[in-house]
Amino acid sequence: MEASSEFSSRPRSTGEFLRRTVVYLKPYKAAAAGNMALAFLTIGFYYVFPYVTQYIIDDVIGCGRLESLLPAIVSLLGTFLLCELSNALRIIVNTHFGQNVIYDMRRDVYARMQRLPVSFFDRRFSGDLMTRVIDDVASVHRVLIDGVERIATTFLSVVVVFVILLLKNATLTMLALIPLAILTTGTLWYTLTAHRRYRKQREAIGAMNAYLMEGLQGIRQIKAFGRQGHEDERFRERAEGLRRTTLGVMKVWAAYSPAMTFAGSLGMVLVLWFGGPMVVKGTMTLGGLVGFIFYLTLFYQPIGRLDGLNQMLQSARAASDRVFDILDAADEQSTDGRDAELKTPVRGEVRFDGVSFAYNGNGRTLKDITLHARPGEMVALVGPTGSGKSTLVNLLPAFYEAASGRIFIDSQDIAKVSLGSLRSRISVVSQEAFLFNGTVRENILYGRLDATEDEMLTASRAANCHEFITSLPEGYDSRVGERGVKLSVGEKQRISIARALLKDAPILILDEATASVDTVTERLIQEALSRLMKNRTSFVIAHRLSTIRDADQILVMHRGEIAERGTHDDLIGLGGIYTRLSLLQDVNDRTE
Ligand SMILES: Nc1ncnc2c1ncn2[C@@H]1O[C@H](COP(=O)(O)OP(=O)(O)OP(=O)(O)O)[C@@H](O)[C@H]1O
Ligand SMILES: [Mg+2]
């Protein structure tokens, strides 16, 4: 399967799996105990049935005492009723308990996911990560709750029933143990080989979900390129992967499960074969033999169910590997000693000192970047596409960490500063404006949740989006749709500027903030921005050089290096890359 390594995870031992998952049960000791007690009670009631049956056959029917039949039947009925009542109660307790555990685990996984470094997500697929939060967590919880309950009840009932059987007839009990050896060997084999099969299946589910998610997000591209057929085919491959791995699991199960049941039946046959003559010879009563067989069913049944438990356990182990992959991944905050806070008030002086960086260690995306932005300065970054402008500004809020060199804000090394304090001082308007599904107001307030209505309106006016927002049918309460699909790119861009402005941070990063707006709007935004950039250190990335002419310094990036630097006038005088770009754009502007 394509890119399967992205879906795989580090296998962990069963011991580690148990140790770590049991932690989630700790807060619910009472529920766990109640659940277990009810499970035992339910089973206890079942044991009454063979006993009463034996009594009815030997002492009622056998002795012709029909008058005792009704009371015996009534007490049997009462036992069944109590049995199912306690079972109903068990289901209720079990479900509450289970949903609490699943809720805790899901929250943990999502909380951890949000604190992983950006680079983690570059290597993963959203759909696969979603599978982990939804399906895999549920699978782990199932084994925790049902599994633990089943293990406990199985062992208890096996021991109890074994003692009852021994007391009833030791010879027949020994015979009944023969199939047990087969059952145990089979279960052991299945356990040792199953993990691999289930992991493949889990990975296939992740791969299919990842594909599905991307397909839904790219639905417009699929249609525009008329690639439905092509997509059907690619989806078919993923679905086929899941079908194949599931069939692989089931094929083994289909051979294994009936074989185990057959081994159980073997015991039954042996007991009838040797028990029959005992009844005829009078060493055992007929009711005794029937009761023995009923108890024998209660003996094999939980062992047979252990296979099901085993299947559950194996599937959960595979799922838990994937869940713990996330829980174990290093939190971005945890990387060496980020315990300082940025000293307030932040003046906004930014220095890059010989900074190099590479994505995944392949090649060099940024080479030896040195720059110095004084407080309140506007630093413009220009240069061809792919030259590393966005990468450079992404290092400042520590979305990625520099491979070498250091970055300082107000002479404090940002690698030593807590991410919370660092990021709260930087406003970012990224290249692709992203809005959350909600109202316009909610999206702007995302910049500062406790801002007043007036502050929000001021930011919105400054970003020049107030007018178009009020012309929307529901104004600030209009919903923007998933990722903001209901708005134009320029509108989204301006809302994300308002959001960044509301944050009111001393350092501002604008990655092509004016790229997707017309010239008139661009000028309006430009005005608003220059007003707002006052007293803030700002990094502005722009392709249109006209927007950054007044910058205090312009850095011309070329293949990950700063090729030229200076003011507009300096650079024009230099006659290098900047001059050429500038001349080309002047020509374009004139012919526009
Ligand atoms: N997440 C990533 N993983 C790996 N490589 C990346 C990643 N993001 C960018 N790159 C690569 O790093 C280089 C610099 O990209 P960057 O986005 O910084 O360019 P840019 O100057 O902002 O370009 P543009 O003007 O088109 O926005 C490119 O070669 C790009 O392919
Ligand atoms: Mg870019």
Write the pLDDT tens digit of every residue in 111-132: 988 888 888 888 888 878 888 8
CATH number of 454's domain: 3.40.50.300
Give 556 Cα–ligand 1 centroid separation in angstroms: 16
Task: Over range 389-395, report the average pLDDT.
Answer: 93
**Which residue type is seen at 172?**
L
Which atom of ligand 1 is closest in space to residue 557's alpha carbon? 21
Give 540 Cα–ligand 2 centroid separation in angstroms: 11
357 alpha carbon, closest ligand: 1
Give 517 Cα–ligand 2 centroid separation in angstroms: 17
Give 320 Cα–ligand 2 centroid separation in angstroms: 37
Q: Is residue 341 part of a domain?
A: no
- Residue-number span of the structural domain to which 503 is assigned: 350-591
Give 43 Cα–ligand 2 centroid separation in angstroms: 65
The residue contributing the CA closest to ligand 1 atom 28 is 386
Give 445 Cα–ligand 2 centroid separation in angstroms: 26
pLDDT of residue 319: 82
End residue of a domain, out of 332, 367, 389? 332
Which tens digits make up the pLDDT trace of 46-80?
888 888 888 988 888 888 888 888 998 898 899 98
Which tens digits make up the pLDDT trace of 148-199?
788 888 888 888 889 999 998 999 999 888 888 887 788 778 877 877 888 8
Q: Are residues 322 and 375 part of one domain? A: no
Assess contact for 459 and 532: CB atoms under 8 A.
Answer: no
Task: Over range 297-311, report the average pLDDT.
Answer: 75
Q: Is residue 320 part of a domain?
A: yes
End residue of a domain, out of 332, 364, 385? 332
Among 303-307, 382-386, 582-586, the range of highest mean pLDDT: 382-386
Q: Are residues 514 and 449 part of one domain? A: yes
64: tokens are 């012709």
Residue length, the chain? 592
pLDDT of residue 587: 66
Task: Over range 361-388, report the average pLDDT.
Answer: 90
pLDDT of residue 256: 85
Q: Are residues 321 and 194 part of one domain? A: yes
pLDDT of residue 513: 65
Task: Over range 342-354, report the average pLDDT.
Answer: 91
Q: Considering the chain, what percentage of its residues have pLDDT values greater than 90?
A: 27
Q: How confident is the model at residue 515 (pLDDT cuts 50, 70, 90)?
A: low
The residue contributing the CA closest to ligand 1 atom 30 is 386
394 alpha carbon, closest ligand: 1
Among 30-44, 112-126, 561-575, whose mean pLDDT is lowest?
Answer: 112-126
Q: Are residues 510 and 450 part of one domain? A: yes
Give 541 Cα–ligand 2 centroid separation in angstroms: 8
Which atom of ligand 1 is closest in space to residue 387's alpha carbon? 21
Q: Are residues 393 and 320 part of one domain? A: no
Q: Are residues 406 and 314 part of one domain? A: no
Q: Is residue 337 part of a domain?
A: no
Q: Are residues 258 and 356 part of one domain? A: no
Is the pLDDT at 136 greater than 90? The verdict is no
Q: Is 312 helix (H, G, I), strand (E, B) or coil?
A: helix
Which tens digits make up the pLDDT trace of 521-554?
777 777 767 767 778 899 999 888 888 888 999 9
Q: Which residues line ligand 1 (CB under 6 A)?
A: 122, 359, 365, 385-391, 431
Q: How confident is the model at residue 1 (pLDDT cuts 50, 70, 90)?
A: very low
Q: How confident is the model at residue 320 (pLDDT cuts 50, 70, 90)?
A: confident
pLDDT of residue 2: 36
The residue contributing the CA closest to ligand 1 atom 10 is 359
Which tens digits make up the pLDDT trace of 85-110?
999 999 999 888 888 988 998 899 89
Give 120 Cα–ligand 1 centroid separation in angstroms: 16
Q: Are residues 97 and 23 part of one domain? A: yes
Is the pLDDT at 428 greater than 70? The verdict is yes
Is the pLDDT at 512 greater than 70? The verdict is yes
Q: Are residues 222 and 77 part of one domain? A: yes
Which atom of ligand 1 is closest in space to residue 360's alpha carbon? 4
Q: Is residue 102 part of a domain?
A: yes
Which among 389, 428, 548, 561 is the best mutation to test ligand 1's pocket, defined by most ligand atoms within 8 Å of the CB?
389
The overall average pLDDT reported for the chain is 85
Which atom of ligand 1 is closest in space to residue 388's alpha carbon? 18
Q: Is 404 helix (H, G, I), strand (E, B) or coil?
A: strand
CATH number of 281's domain: 1.20.1560.10
The residue contributing the CA closest to ligand 1 atom 8 is 391
Q: Are residues 462 and 324 part of one domain? A: no
- Tell me, rounded to whole angstroms, the distance of Cα 364 from its chain centroid: 31
Q: How confident is the model at residue 590 (pLDDT cuts 50, 70, 90)?
A: low
Give 386 Cα–ligand 2 centroid separation in angstroms: 7
Prediction pTM value:
0.76
- To which H or E segment does residue 565 belong? strand 561-566
Q: Considering the chain, what percentage of its residues have pLDDT values greater than 70?
A: 95
pLDDT of residue 589: 62
User: Angle 500-506-507 (CA atoms, 0-180°, nearest 5)?
Assistant: 70
The residue contributing the CA closest to ligand 1 atom 13 is 386
Q: How confident is the model at residue 4 (pLDDT cuts 50, 70, 90)?
A: very low
Q: Are residues 515 and 542 part of one domain? A: yes
Q: Are residues 185 and 327 part of one domain? A: yes
pLDDT of residue 228: 86
Among 256-270, 312-326, 387-401, 418-432, whose mean pLDDT is lowest?
Answer: 312-326
Could you give the number of structural domains in the chain? 2
- C-alpha–C-alpha distance, residues 265 and 176, integer Å: 10
pLDDT of residue 236: 92
Is the pLDDT at 33 greater than 70? The verdict is yes
Assess contact for 578 and 584: CB atoms under 8 A.
Answer: no
Through-space distance between the first and last CA atoms of the chain, rounded to whole angstroms: 49
- C-alpha–C-alpha distance, residues 316 and 139, integer Å: 5
Q: Is residue 342 part of a domain?
A: no
Q: Is residue 180 part of a domain?
A: yes
Identify whether 345 is preceded by a cis peptide bond (ω within 30 of 0). yes
Tokens 């008030």, located at residue: 345
Is the pLDDT at 414 greater than 70? The verdict is yes
pLDDT of residue 481: 86
Which among 390, 428, 544, 557 is the best mutation to test ligand 1's pocket, defined by most ligand atoms within 8 Å of the CB?
390
Is the pLDDT at 591 greater than 70? The verdict is no
End residue of a domain, out of 332, 361, 390? 332
